[in-house]
Structure 1
Amino acid sequence: MREQLLKIEDLWVHYKTDDATNYAVNGISLELQAGENIGLVGETGAGKTTTALSILRLLPPKIGVIKQGKILFDGQDILKLTESDMRTIRGNKISMIFQDPMTSLNPVLTVGDQIAEVLILHNESDSSEGVQKRVDDILRLVGIQAKRKNEYPHQLSGGMKQRIVIAIAIACNPMLLIADEPTTALDVTIQAQVLEMMDNLKNTLNTSLLLITHDLGIVAQMCDRVAIMYSGEIVEYGTVEDIYGAKERHPYTDGLFGSIPDLVKETKRLNPIGGQMTDPANLPAGCKFHPRCPKCMEICKTVQPKAIEIQGHQIKCHLYK
């Protein structure tokens, strides 16, 4: 049986500004076992990136506030650690591949120096020669020739920049890798190469993965379990097999599947989810999805649904009492 690596309990995160309070994450709970992959899926504004930044305690200061909850990593409550302790965890035990590789790299440092910086910070005893040898090994691991370590980010293509970002993230063999839409800025061919490389690296390094994405196809390929997020809540949670093969799903999950082209059916138009994501500063009463839900009932407008288990996975919906 796998050991528990990450456990999020009843996490609430708000963004407070002079104009309004945005309720970004609203009471989510999640577990990740050692060596496991979990996909976090939802539209833009669902709270996925906020959840990831909360794990690393990288929310914008004075604006992003964790109101309540626990984040247990390897037995430690991250929310109780000092900033000095967090620096020993970030990039070392937990690493993050940020959303846009074009802006994640420092334009005035060579890519080799940026990888070496992580190694020097967390492995102070290594000699200069040892650090450079490790940089060369990491570059080869992500499919880049070691001689290119002296180049600057602007000299690399988008796909190679993403590989460098991944190289920085895996430099210290982290226990948990958070990938925030790692293929968004890449074309389809390069996407496939990067995903295959990430999967191989995860198996080689025995790293757990929290994958944030809009793409349900990527989740099916990469993940063991999937959490569907909407308006800061996890509305459906279970194994990939349970959710993808289920006859009964949350209406929002059905909407996401309906927005994907089916290669075996001839369809003139896709079926997108109507309406817009709810305003996090003005969330509706009851079920947050009810203004857009084609199966909305009166109870949905006033009563918040509780998670129940159906066919091996959890659903927050009044349809399934």
Structure 2
Amino acid sequence: MAESAPAEALPLDVAWLRAHPLPQPVSGADKNARGRVMVLGGCLTVPGGVGLSAEAALRAGAGKVRVGTVAPAAIALGALLPEAAVLALPVSPEGEIDAPPEGIAEHLSRCDAVVVGPAMSSEPHASRLLGGLLAQADWTAGLVIDAAPLLGLSAHAEALRARGAPAVLTPHVGEIAGMLECDAEVIERDRAAAARSAAERFGAVVVLKGGSTLVAEPGGALYGYTGGNVGLATGGSGDVLAGITGALLARGCSPLEAALWSVWLHGEAGRRCAETIGPLGFLARELLGFIPQVMRSGDQE
């Protein structure tokens, strides 16, 4: 059973879904009109994880997805996910994406949302990659930050607050502890306060993952979702959540709406996996096929 959300959290429920329907493409819209997502991540230790984010973005309705990952993994990833374009990036001796090459910048103007960090394992490399993106002054696409870049996010707080639209940050307890430079035990004592503090510090929408998921926005509003299950606590699950969020930003959702809808879609996909496969042992990739079904049911709520 999922833990309860704090009493002050607004519920993420059917009433909220009805009041905030997902934007729908017009009849005859081509794939560019459905939103273009770039996913930057992966490393030689976890070469396939970034593919989960990319496929999740496609399953959540994005029209085009481009994946930037370490060069040795690029061809294999492209073969496994033929629906996505692949950008081979320089690899460091540690097996991580090296400092951002100039080649990334030319792609930013052709995307509506960027997901950075999935399946990266080195905070220094991830932080340099994020810093290079934030340094592009004319870049206005939606932004989702996941995994390793979150651990060094304090160095980018000013740049994040200066963005025209809030980024969406998707930490678990350990990552938000790094963001706030405190111990995880402090976070666990008051997860609501931590989510709100991070939202204010970084001028971002914060999705604090856990037994119950909390979503905080700058200004103090807090939402809670308790429909997840323990089976979602598995490798790659967060990569799927990040990809869904990127797709919804690209489709035209506000950062808060993208965060809340992605939490609900991810949680409901997990519920369907638990019902059809079993409460434990389903894989993150098995969430992917349920995303369109859950999205359709949510639109009909």
Band of TM-score, shorter chain? 0.3 to 0.5
TM-score under structure 1 length normalisation = 0.31
Larger Rg: 1
Query: Per residue, is there more strand in 1 or in 2?
Result: 1
TM-score under structure 2 length normalisation = 0.32
